Structure 1
Amino acid sequence: MTEIAIKTTGLGKRYRRKWALRNCTIEIPAGRVVGLVGPNGAGKSTLMNLMVGLLAPTEGREEVFGERVVPGTVLHRVAYIDQEHSMYRNFRIDEMLKAGRLLNARWNQQIATDRLAELDIALNSKVGEISGGQRAQVALALALAKEPDLLVLDEPVASLDPLARREMMSSLMAAKADRDCTVVLSSHVVSELERLCDYLVVLDRGTVKLVGDIDTLLDEHRVLVGPTTAPSPAGAVHRHVNEDRATVLVRGAVRADASWREQRVNLEELVMRYLSLAVAKEQAAELAA
């Protein structure tokens, strides 16, 4: 039986009158690399903070490896890197390693020092004086030293230049190969996640729009291109009409007449069509109100 790394049931978080996350129900198998995708403000950071116990939910329930998440209860099994790669800027890197050793029940100093040596990052350097790419690598080394079962990264490369982005993602792929932990990383740029991730969660405006194994989702969907006058075939999820043609995203077995031309869908197109569908539904609801 496949172990479940993350399970949420009706999970929600409200800030005053605004819901940042609502009715989130997902199950993520252990050992997967999960891309958490959505536009800015979709609820990605809120969900991640709930995952690692930094926030308490307003409603619903969440479990990590079968243990109910209560702030502070699962952090020994979880490592978290936020968007800013937060560390004490006045500390030297060796002082950050010492703090990690003192503050964590599980700590493997050798993992961090070996990784930093490979990257030629001096341990006596101050955190605030190294480059953004190096800070990201130090944050990843500290996270991996915890030997986590769940590694959560909130837009880890958003603030980095293209070269540093590529180096960070390569390091993450190598780390995953070294230790078969579950990885969740968020981005609003699908192309950053496509090479690394094998599982997908699409969030928009605080709700889950799509979730599942990426290969399975791609196999389940097709894009059909045909005349604007043709009705959408069965299983249509999203329809977009240009001046001279209609494009329809279909889920499940395709049953369409000869006027439709079938195409495979790629991950970025799949995500964007589900996000467009969410916007269209919301606009229709506003017009009907």
Structure 2
Amino acid sequence: MTETAIEAAGLGMRFGRRGKPALDGCAFRIPAGAVCAVVGPNGAGKSTLLSLAAGLARPTAGTLTVLGRSPAEVRARVGYVAQDKPLHLQLTVAETLRWGRELNPGRWDDEVAERIVAEGELDPEAKIRTLSGGQRTRVALALALGKRPELLLLDEPMADLDPLARHQLMASLMADAAGHGTTVVMSSHVVAELEGSCDHLLLLGAGRVRLAGPLDDVLAAHRLVTGRADASLEPHTVVESRTTGRSLTALVRPEGPLDAGWQDTAPTLEELVLAHLGAPQAPALLLDDVREAAV
């Protein structure tokens, strides 16, 4: 297994000759074994990135390697659950899992696939077309995990589930990934939920990488500060600030010690993401495994 799960350099994707780029000049590295959260607003390029990594399309610029090779060469080692979770509606749950087994000879894990379905109390003889959105999600995840992938790509996988089912399935998914060293790259709009599950962050905005790196390092590079509205934050990099009366609150990237007049705390992942999304002109921060690589 390679040390890098996904690596991009100058990655771009444009649909049509005059279309706005879905991805533009993206550069990042996701290490093998990481659980990476891909976050950003609608239209940021999250789904495009995951479909490229799954080998379903080719980029129009730059390079993207998956498990050290081109995405098309490693499809058998990659599991992918798309937002629309395409399944054969006329098949039963049992037939769908049997289909997965036949398509993945030598890799299929009956136990994990059947466990995910059983935890949702699904009738093996039920047709896919009769299942709810959340139940189809379980079947799609069972197919993806059943092939025992080295890399698991999940595009908004829990959107159709109620909060309790989402929590239970996420816990099961993370435990399985940790037990087998699976790299997980997952997009989601539920940012607070990702904080307890992910250890790597990739934040996209308007097709560009805004933040990338180990989650602890990215969070440690920022502080949430509060002080007088007329106080100076120089020489620190201000990501976003807002004034309420005589008080100012800002997310900053410190360039040395903060003045004593500022009260500061560590931001949560949700605070960090919302601040960067609200300030698209803020300088990007790209971190590798141990140090800052570029700003």
User: Scaled by the length of structure 1, what TM-score is found?
Assistant: 0.89
**In 1, distance between residues paired with 2:215 and 2:282?**
24
SS in 2 for 1:73: helix
Q: CA offset at residue 129 of structure 1?
A: 1.5
- 2:35 corresponding residue in structure 1: 33
Q: Which residue of 2 aligns with 1:85?
A: 85
Cα deviation for residue 19 of structure 1 reads: 0.3
Distance in 1 (alpha carbons) for counterparts of 2:206 and 2:240? 21
- In the superposition, the TM-score normalised over structure 2's length comes to 0.88
Aligned-partner Cα distance in 1 for 2:21–2:183: 27
Cα pair distance change 1:118/1:164, threshold 3 Å: closer
Contact 1:37/1:189 (8 A) holds in 2: no
1:207 shift after superposition? 0.5
Distance 2:115 2:257 in 1: 56
Cα distance in structure 2, aligned partners of 1:51 and 1:167: 27
The one-letter code of the counterpart of 2:6 is I
Task: State the match for 2:8 in structure 1.
Answer: 8
Evaluate the alpha carbon distance shift between residue 263 and residue 114 of structure 1 in structure 2; reply closer, same or farther with a 3 A threshold.
closer
> How far is the alpha carbon of 1:118 from its aligned partner?
4.3
Alpha-carbon distance between aligned partners in 1 of 2:118 and 2:160, rounded to the nearest angstrom: 23
**Could you say which residue in structure 2 is the equivalent of 1:174?**
175
Deviates more, 1:99-108 or 1:134-143: 99-108
The residue type paired with residue 261 of structure 1 is Q
* Letter aligned with residue 271 of structure 1: V
Residue 67 of structure 1: how far off its partner (Å): 0.7
Residue identity in the other structure for 1:61: T
State the shift of 1:270 in Å.
Answer: 0.9
Answer whether contact 2:39 2:46 (CA < 8 A) is retained.
Answer: yes
Contact kept, 8 Å, 2:211 with 2:218, in 1: the verdict is: no
Deviates more, 1:211-220 or 1:255-264: 255-264
Contact 1:202-1:211 at 8 Å conserved across structures: yes
- The structural deviation recorded for 1:57 is 0.3
Instruction: Return closer, same or farther for 1:181/1:20 CA change in 2, 3 Å cut-off.
Output: same
Listed as ranges, the gaps of 5+ residues in structure 1 are: 282-289
Contact 1:40–1:188 under 8 Å retained in 2: no
Q: 1:108 Cα deviation (Å)? A: 2.4
1:1-289 map, 5 Å: 3-16=3-16, 17=18, 18-69=20-71, 72-105=72-105, 106-242=107-243, 243-278=245-280
Aligned CA distance change for structure 1 residues 228 and 24 (closer, same or farther; 3 Å)? same
2: CA distance between counterparts of 1:116 and 1:227?
55
Change in Cα spacing, 1:87 to 1:44, as seen in structure 2 (3 Å) is: same
CA distance in 1: counterparts of 2:240 and 2:111, whole angstroms: 53
Which stretch has the larger CA shift, 244-253 or 154-163? Answer: 244-253
Using the alignment, how far apart are the partners of 1:4 and 1:54 within structure 2?
A: 20
Rounded to whole Å, the distance in 2 between the matches of 1:260 and 1:98 is 61
Q: Does the C-alpha gap of structure 1 residues 73 and 90 become closer, same or farther in structure 2, counting only changes over 3 Å?
A: same
Cα distance in 2 between the residues matched to 1:143 and 1:256: 47
Cα–Cα, structure 1 residues 223 and 114, in superposed 2: closer, same or farther, change >3 Å?
A: closer
Deviation for aligned residue 1:14: 0.3
How many residues align structurally? 279
Letter in 2 for 1:127: I
